[in-house]
Structure 1
């Protein structure tokens, strides 16, 4: 599993910046938009509905709220921790930005390390990062080379789950098939605004498209695709 390497200067001076951007907020908050509304995932036994009509959410273009770059200023969490903030507060802030950079969809975030982050060599702590109500546990491991009183503290942060974001899924579907002249009528189930899911695991949600050469006789038909989420993106796989 890929991990993020980080460092925090314990004596570094933070700069408070007021402005627009992602900020911490109520864990239960939900965003609204044209991408779809929150919903519940089907049970593991749920089967894809029989193709034959558009699904609940037609996908007719890119999603406006999805940014192209993980360095987009909209993914910043403001304000930054105040001067003199604890090491745990700095880690919590960093984790929120890490999750936003992976999802590339601005949204309300919060973070909490229930027992704090232990600043000892090789110490492991657990933090929870919430995006639009979906909570992802992170494992924080301090570098084995850490020494008490060090100016900088290096650590690895490892998310234990990923997040299925409706807008990101709709945007990814459009980007995946927009160049195909033999494909049309893209649509998806009504996906939750955000839902924590295991990586590379079937989510139970589906999208579909009309393929001119699909169907048993190759004369056209709907093709159903399932949805999986990896560390940085949404993947689709054909459901047979």
Structure 2
């Protein structure tokens, strides 16, 4: 049915998962920095973080990816030309993961900020009263509860990011979508290959939901659930 292209498409699955996973790590870094900046008592970090999240969440992902990829390529080569380094071709994997990490870091900024704010202030003060250092309070009180509060929003961001990894094909990355494009052009049966890609993404998101639901249940162990009637 796939005219022998299935192994090639599945070969692109590794690139897709690698892009999504690496982008998630980068997004978490941006998200934690952004959340810390928004919760800072200083005005400058708050303004910078607010500007970052407002712009990123207000512009479509595809437009941002093209702007950052091509704009970054131009900026880097202008610097390289100034120093006489010659032309620098940015690797699509690096460009794609950095761009997606930067974009979804804005969404995780709000997720992490809300999770931290959901922790009762009295628990942190109680830890300090027991003589815990700031690092111990962060490790024993803040982070475990932050993870529990952040997991629903984190799950949603990961699912959207996983699906958005298909966008990296437009900057030349050899992922599943790129290979499906080549296969559909060669066989003139686009529906067959795009339907296959859709099913693979559905399988990935389903596995992700089940795995993150298990993690959420582990972090919610012993927490009383309030029922609304």
Question: Under a length normalisation based on structure 1, what TM-score does the superposition of the two structures give?
Answer: 0.28
Name the structure where strand makes up a greater proportion of residues.
1
Question: Under a length normalisation based on structure 2, what TM-score does the superposition of the two structures give?
Answer: 0.29
Instruction: Name which structure has the greater RCO, CA cutoff 8 Å, separation 6+.
Output: 2
Name the structure where helix makes up a greater proportion of residues.
2
